[in-house]
Amino acid sequence: MKAVVKTKRAKGLSLVKVPNPVIGPREVLIKVNNASICGTDVHIYDWTRWAQQRLSPPRILGHEFVGTVAEVGEEVTVVKVGDCVSAESHLTCGHCYQCNNGNAEVCRNFKLLGVDHDGTFAEFFVLPEHVLWKNSPDIPLEWATIQEPFGNAVDTVMVEDVAAKTVLILGAGPIGLFAAGIAHACGASLVIVSDPNDYRLAISKKMGAHAAVNPRKEDVVGLVMEATKNIGVDVVLEFSGNNQALNQGLKVITPGGRISILGIYERRVNIDLNKDVIFKKVRIYGITGRKIFSTWYKTSRFLSTGMVDPGPVITHRFPLKDYEKGMKLMKDGKCGKVILTVSP
Looking at CATH, the fold of the domain delimited by 2-146+310-341 is given as Quinone Oxidoreductase; Chain A, domain 1 (3.90.180)
pTM above 0.95, yes or no: yes
* Residue 63 annotated among the catalytic residues of the structure: no
Please check whether residue 156 is in contact with residue 143, taking contact to mean a CB–CB distance below 8 angstroms: no
Q: What is the pLDDT of residue 266?
A: 84
The residue annotated as part of the active site, out of 43, 63, 117, 184, is 43
What per-residue string of b and e applies to 45-60 under the rule 16 or more CB within 10 Å gives b?
Answer: bebeeebeeebeeebb
Whether residue 21 has a cis bond before it, omega within 30° of 0? no
Sheet-wide strand order for 253-261: 211-213, 190-194, 166-170, 233-238, 253-261, 283-286
Q: What is the pLDDT of residue 87?
A: 98
* Residue 156 annotated among the catalytic residues of the structure: no
The residue annotated as part of the active site, out of 7, 40, 95, 299, is 40
Instruction: Give residue limits of the domains in the chain.
Output: 2-146+310-341, 152-286
Quote the DSSP letter at residue 215: T
Looking at CATH, the fold of the domain delimited by 152-286 is given as Rossmann fold (3.40.50)
Q: What is the pLDDT of residue 191?
A: 98
Please check whether residue 192 is in contact with residue 200, taking contact to mean a CB–CB distance below 8 angstroms: no
With a cut of 50, which residues of the chain have pLDDT below it? none
Residue-wise pLDDT tens digits, 312-323: 999 999 999 999
Backbone angles phi, psi at 111, to 5 degrees: -115, 140
Q: What is the pLDDT of residue 344?
A: 75
Cα Rg of the chain (Å, integer): 20
